[in-house]
Amino acid sequence: AESFQPKGNTLSTTQVYTKVPFLLKHTLREYQHIGLDWLNAMYDKKLNGILADEMGLGKTIQTISILAHLACEKGVWGPHLIVVPTSVMLNWEMEFKKWCPAFKILTYYGTPKERKMKRVGWTKPNAFHVCITSYKLVVQDHQSFRQKKKKKKKKK
């Protein structure tokens, strides 16, 4: 993975192969575009990686960008699972709506009854592209998430 590491943080010092997805409604900063290119290289090589930029540099935006790229260039619309601290779930939802309104977002939280209502129909194709939730709720409702995953696999 280190060989895919960008050599710089500007487009004049680093070669970028990944186009900014047309689904994005705002402009990426140069270092975010470089981060998108790195994420795409990791995806193409089937490697895992950690986007560990400093706070405030747009890790959320880069994550949205790679998902938009997967949809635009590879036809991979999801469903994608984003697991974040409860305190930032609604911020992630707002950023998706601002940057990539084409994605259908399911923000998965609430009481057990409210979450059960959110799961109604979620196994239908394209019910949502991105599910944003917390680690605690993934653990609590792991059976439901497993069923969603199994139903997706059966369709392939």
- Looking at per-residue pLDDT, the higher value among 8 and 93 belongs to 93
| pLDDT confidence tier of residue 2, bands split at 50, 70 and 90 | low
| Residue found by looking up tokens 């911020």 in the block | 91
- Identify the pLDDT of residue 26: 98
Q: Residue 128 has which token pair?
A: 């949502």
Residue 150 has pLDDT above 70, yes or no: no
Residue 121 tokens, joined = 């129909």
**What's the pLDDT at 155?**
54
C-alpha 5/C-alpha 39 separation (Å) is 10
140 vs 150, higher pLDDT: 140
Instruction: Please report, rounded to a whole number, the percentage of residues in the chain having pLDDT higher than 90.
Output: 72
CA distance linking residue 150 with residue 91, whole number of Å: 29
Angle among Cα 57, 71, 51 to the nearest 5 degrees reads 25
Report the predicted TM-score, pTM, of the whole model to 2 decimal places: 0.87
Q: Strand 105-107 vs strand 80-83: parallel, antiparallel, or unpaired?
A: unpaired
Q: Is the bond into 125 cis (omega within 30 degrees of 0)?
A: no
Query: Mind listing the pLDDT tens digit for each residue in 89-130?
Result: 999 999 999 999 999 999 999 999 999 999 998 888 889 999
